[in-house]
Structure 1
Amino acid sequence: MKHIFLIALCCMLSFSCSENNDDKLGSNNQNVTPTFVFSQHWDDTTITNADIENTSYTNANGEVLTITRLRYLLSGFQLLDNNGNPISFQGYNLVELSNAETMTFTPSGSVTPGEYTLRFVFGFDEANNIDGAYTDLNTASWNWPEMLGGGYHFLQLDGQYNVNTTAPLPFNYHNGTAMVSEGEFEQNHTVFNFTESITIAEGTTIEIKFNVAELFKNPNLWDLNVYNTSLMPNYDAQKLMQQNIASAFTLGSISQQ
């Protein structure tokens, strides 16, 4: 009888342990959604709303400039598992330097906790860059002119250069669809694929850093005396922007709450 009792007791304990482990495993495997935070920099110097029109920066071409407006759109957020399979999130974020609320973004969608890499689109890809489709972006005057390909801006960087002289001049570094010729357009968005592994868990926050200085130097040295205003219909300027934007975003800190 003692043997039977011991066997029964062991079975009960084994079942209880298994049940507890399953409960923990199930809890750990509940899907989670990361939050993204955005920061802007001029190389190693952080750019904030307080710097608008107040702080001067020297670009790689030696021109001294100030920023009056900075807005950019990110979309197509995906997390890729260890096999390269993408999990897509819905939504986009229009980051505006003067609006602190836009510095945080939680997309729609979720993933199982684990190790992933990150992918996102600067601007909209061709499938989502639909003229007039997004009410909030229309209200924000984010539209790209129909005669230039329609859809939406990807970037607006406005300011003045030669501010260290008595004759400062305006610049409008606006990026979007590239017009090859009248009625012929070329998609001009940029896809960012980061190779760093990110641990995604409950409360994960991912910082995305935008180095504005890169827009003026890598790989193309930007001369504001040549490319300053009326750049939206300028095909060459749009393609140079796309190339420089490709090095402007990096991953920052990853935190777990």
Structure 2
Amino acid sequence: MKKIVSLLTLALLIIACNEDIDDTTITIPEVTFNFTHHWDSTFINSTNLETETLTNANGEVITINRIRYLTSHFELTNLAGETYIFEGYKLTDLSDDATYNFTPVVNTIPSGTYNLKFVWGFNADDNTDGIYQDLNSESWNWPAMLGGGYHFLQFDGMYNVDTANPSPFNFHNGTARVSDGVFEDNFAVITFDAPITISNNTTIEIKMNIAELFKNPNTWDLNVLDTPLMPNYDAQKMMQQNILSVFSLGETTQ
């Protein structure tokens, strides 16, 4: 059975041990998560976000105006089945490189081998309407008539830019509206099978392939699904399915 370990409790125990043992240095690693972004083989960051011309799996040529996304509930589980949960959430804005890193406030963790998982967006317990003031100030709220809570993704741009008639798209993801007053949780749990060995302060790279949003398992036809997608139940569920292939583990540095 999985054992949940509070990182705050662990931190307090470490402090107590350090106070009791003056001649012994106890080293407990700290963890930072670093998100990098690409479109298949093209590296994307703030310098080329709005200038790259890209082609999706359906053949539409696009440009990007904005990508912002939310991740939360980061967990590392060791070989003994002990799970360490990192509090907090991360709003990444690709126009701001400073938002690519996530270093939890309490993040010390025993050395060992772990598997990582995190939540795309907020889970049902955390996706409470209006309670996160920093997200409110970022206009990150999901409309109450569509289920409330918060966006998971804002991805905006233009498609068919290689034609005389380019069009906008707004690929926004959040709670799925089934019908009037009926809503469905739409977060995704991102899991990684590859083990991560942690022995010192560690930075874990998480790679986001933006192109996967449009191709796996659902090939996205922007000529059909461009705007508005927020109230479109089928579109929201297709996004949830596609997000599962977007992230992969990159380099771990210590």
**Same-fold call, TM cutoff 0.5:** yes
Partner of 1:103 in structure 2?
100
Following superposition of structure 1 onto structure 2, how do residues 21-60 of structure 1 map, counting pairs within 5 Å? Answer: 27=25, 30-60=27-57
- Percent identical residues: 57
Following superposition of structure 1 onto structure 2, how do residues 207-246 of structure 1 map, counting pairs within 5 Å? Answer: 207-246=205-244
SS in 1 for 2:87: coil
Runs of 5+ consecutive residues of structure 2 not aligned to the other structure = 1-20
CA contact (8 A) 2:30 2:107 kept: yes
Partner of 2:62 in structure 1?
65
Query: Aligned equivalents of 2:204 and 2:50: distance in 1?
Result: 29
Query: Aligned equivalents of 2:28 and 2:132: distance in 1?
Result: 28
Q: Deviations over 1:184-230 (max 9, x none)?
A: 11000010111111112332000111101001110001000110011
Query: Aligned equivalents of 2:166 and 2:111: distance in 1?
Result: 52
Higher alpha-carbon deviation: 82-91 or 179-188: 82-91
CA contact (8 A) 2:45 2:97 kept: no
Partner of 1:119 in structure 2?
117
CA contact (8 A) 1:218 1:244 kept: yes
What amino acid does structure 2 have at the position aligned with 1:114?
G
Runs of 5+ consecutive residues of structure 1 not aligned to the other structure = 1-22
Partner of 1:5 in structure 2?
none
CA contact (8 A) 1:156 1:173 kept: yes
Partner of 2:136 in structure 1?
138
Q: Deviations over 1:41-78 (max 9, x none)?
A: 10121111122331110001000000000001110001
- Of 73, 80, 85, the match for 1:83: 80
Query: Aligned equivalents of 1:71 and 1:201: distance in 2?
Result: 32
- Of 162, 168, 171, the match for 1:170: 168
Following superposition of structure 1 onto structure 2, how do residues 245-256 of structure 1 map, counting pairs within 5 Å? Answer: 245-256=243-254
CA contact (8 A) 2:62 2:160 kept: yes
Q: Deviations over 1:226-256 (max 9, x none)?
A: 1001100000000000000110000111001
SS in 2 for 1:101: helix
- CA positional deviation for 1:113: 1.2
Q: Deviations over 1:74-117 (max 9, x none)?
A: 10001101033211011111010011110111013321111111
What amino acid does structure 1 have at the position aligned with 2:114?
Y
Which protein has the larger Cα radius of gyration, Structure 1 or Structure 2?
1
Kindly indicate which of the two structures has a greater share of residues assigned to helix. 1
CA contact (8 A) 1:56 1:64 kept: yes
Question: Does residue 1:203 correspond to 2:201, yes or no?
Answer: yes
CA contact (8 A) 1:66 1:163 kept: yes
Query: Aligned equivalents of 1:174 and 1:48: distance in 2?
Result: 20
State the aligned residue count: 232
Q: Deviations over 1:139-176 (max 9, x none)?
A: 01111001101110001110000000111100000000
The TM-score normalised by the length of structure 2 is 0.88
Query: Aligned equivalents of 2:58 and 2:81: distance in 1?
Result: 40
SS in 2 for 1:35: strand
Query: Aligned equivalents of 2:50 and 2:117: distance in 1?
Result: 33
- CA positional deviation for 1:33: 2.1
Query: Aligned equivalents of 1:183 and 1:109: distance in 2?
Result: 39
- CA positional deviation for 1:118: 0.5
Partner of 1:128 in structure 2?
126
Partner of 2:190 in structure 1?
192
